[in-house]
Amino acid sequence: MNLWDERYASAAYYYGTEPNDFLRDHAKVIPPGGTVLCLGEGEGRNAAFLAGRGYDVVALDQSPVGLEKAARLAKAKSVRFQTTVANLDGYRFEPNRWDGIVSIWCHLPSAMRSSLHRQVIVGLKPGGIFLLEAYTREQIRYGTGGPKDVDLLPSLAELRRDLDGMETLDGTERERIVQEGAGHGGLSAVVQLIARRPA
């Protein structure tokens, strides 16, 4: 059992059962009714939200324990989405498959993140949307959640470099209050990005 399986082993939902604020506020930019892949989706709160908005969602995570809870959350919220247990290290996307790819706090080592984001471009349909929120390196000083290893914490410039060729619709580094279950609580340093694969 890895760290994430252990973290998800209790009955409580570690980041709660409500969606991430940035996703909730901007989900409508993803083509309505489209296919959406949620990367590192954990216990399924964002997938459940998107499914409730009419998207055809797959929640991917390396934690089977998290995804079992995601399936229970889907039932409790009377929505349907698929779950896929997979490791994003070296992950290859089916080309032109997704109308949206969502990455909420999916913190990966920089080399893995870079290669994954090149793949995101492959996996999106033309006109498809990539939506991400992550902590930045400044978050280490805030101590309100997120990884402690700076290599896992991207800057906007790094994200834009890895997503070269995508059209940036919104790209911001900012402070905001994040309240999500027991896992995230308080003023935080985040990067938010919405990018579109050119049609």
Would you tell me which residues interact with ligand SAM (CB under 6 A)?
Answer: 4, 15, 20, 40-42, 45-46, 61-63, 66, 87-89, 104-106, 108
Nearest residue (CB) to ligand SAM, 87 versus 96: 87
Q: How far is the CB of 106 from ligand SAM (least distance, A)?
A: 5
Q: How far is the CB of 156 from ligand SAM (least distance, A)?
A: 19
Q: Which positions ≥6 away from 75 have C-beta within 8 Å? A: none
Nearest residue (CB) to ligand SAM, 34 versus 40: 40
Contact assessment for residue 21 and residue 178, using Cβ atoms and an 8 Å cutoff:
yes
Rounded distance between C-alpha atoms, residue 21 and residue 179, angstroms: 9
Nearest residue (CB) to ligand SAM, 1 versus 126: 1
User: How far apart, in Å, are the Cα atoms of 118 and each of 95, 162, 163, 164?
Assistant: 12, 6, 6, 8
Bridge partners, residue 132, by sequence: 103, 193
Nearest residue (CB) to ligand SAM, 174 versus 198: 174
- Residue with the two structure tokens 């790819």: 101
Q: How far is the CB of 44 from ligand SAM (least distance, A)?
A: 8
Q: How far is the CB of 89 from ligand SAM (least distance, A)?
A: 5
